[in-house]
């Protein structure tokens, strides 16, 4: 699995609290771990270590230092409700 696909899948896991990517090819890219820390604000344990505010600060500084766009947490698209038909609206 390439790192882009892995990130797409993982960032949608908004209830994820613990994650280890040690040994995964994605773990060789420091940017991947930093991006995970920023995209998953509720992640509490990463690679068997408690996530500290300092870890997230370092992740932010990484993106600033390399002038990269700061990753944002995943926000699901709101579901679009079908519009009521005019006749249904007129009836009540």
- CB within 8 Å of 70: residues ≥ 6 apart: 38, 60, 63, 64
Sheet with 45-46: strands ordered across: 18-19, 45-46, 49-50
Q: Give me the half-sphere count of Cα atoms (radius 13 Å) on the Cβ side of residue 79.
A: 2
Residues across the chain: 92
E strand or H helix at 54: helix 53-65
Predicted local distance difference test score (pLDDT) of residue 82: 74
Six-digit token pair at 44?
């509490």
pLDDT in tens, 14-68: 899 999 999 999 889 889 999 999 999 999 999 999 999 999 999 999 999 999 9
pTM for the model stands at 0.80
In the chain, what are the domains?
A: 3-75 (3.80.10.10)
Six-digit token pair at 10?
């993982």
């Amino acid at each position: 699995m390439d790192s882009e696909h892995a990130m797409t899948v993982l960032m949608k896991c908004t209830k994820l609290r613990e994650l280890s990517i040690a040994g995964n090819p994605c773990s060789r890219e420091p940017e991947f771990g930093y991006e995970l820390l920023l995209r998953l604000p509720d992640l509490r344990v990463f690679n068997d270590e408690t996530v500290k505010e300092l870890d997230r600060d370092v992740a932010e500084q990484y993106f600033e230092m390399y002038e990269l766009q700061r990753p944002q947490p995943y926000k699901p698209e709101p579901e679009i409700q079908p519009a009521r038909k005019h006749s249904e609206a007129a009836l009540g």
